[in-house]
Structure 1
Amino acid sequence: MSDFSDAFSVSASGMRAQAMRLRHVSENIANADTPGYHRKTRAFEEVLEGGDTSGRVQLGPVQLDRRELTRIYDPGHPMADETGYYDGSNVDLVVEIADAREAQRSYEANLKMFDQARQMSSALLDLLRR
């Protein structure tokens, strides 16, 4: 039964990590028009147990995208400098939508893996009851 619990644990950690990734993508999209906003990113890290890889993943710390902010010309904006420009955000909506799709598909793949492990463990218990 340990292999089944490992499969549940691995797929659940993947779903958890993808859900958090999707949360950051949605924050980036929501703040795409916020002046001075830097895109948030998080990298996946492998979970180690006793120095060995466990197959589970977790998200690393939040990092801000270091790309330059877009300069927007609007002399009437309260944040505009003497030249009429202000710093926008560095969020690219096309990239964010692609990241959201990837996170959704990865979440669904982990969900299918979880369901498959559940079905296999249920079938094993049915066999053992006979």
Structure 2
Amino acid sequence: MLTGHQQTAQHGDIDESDAVRQHQQFYGGGRPSGPATSSSMGSAAAMQALKMFGGGQGGGSSGGNSQNQFVGAAMGQAAKLFDQQSAQGNASGNKQDAVASAAQMALKMYMKSEMGGSGGGGLMGLASKFL
């Protein structure tokens, strides 16, 4: 699914402040303003995966495997978040879109961390910037 998006992700920019805000709304005990969209849940889930990696829960090793682990973690968080919001009657869209959105956001974050990488520490450096 993401193979074609990797090239786009390298050039795509991340709205860092929006991603942090979405994460705080869903994971910080805040209440989302309006229905939880696939995009907002995807951003929040990718941030949660980043937080997990930054906290050492997901490992910080570099290489292709860490990219897969990070994107996979974001997708898993999006699925959980969608189920939670759906149970509260607050989810709009569908689970597949939320998971895809999280995967795309995670891939953008990963690519940004790799490209800005000299001295940035990869995902760890990116995590410290966001959280």
TM-score by length of 1: 0.27
When you count helix as a share of all residues, which structure comes out higher? 2
Larger-gyration structure (1/2): 1
Task: Choose between structure 1 and 2: higher strand proportion.
Answer: 1
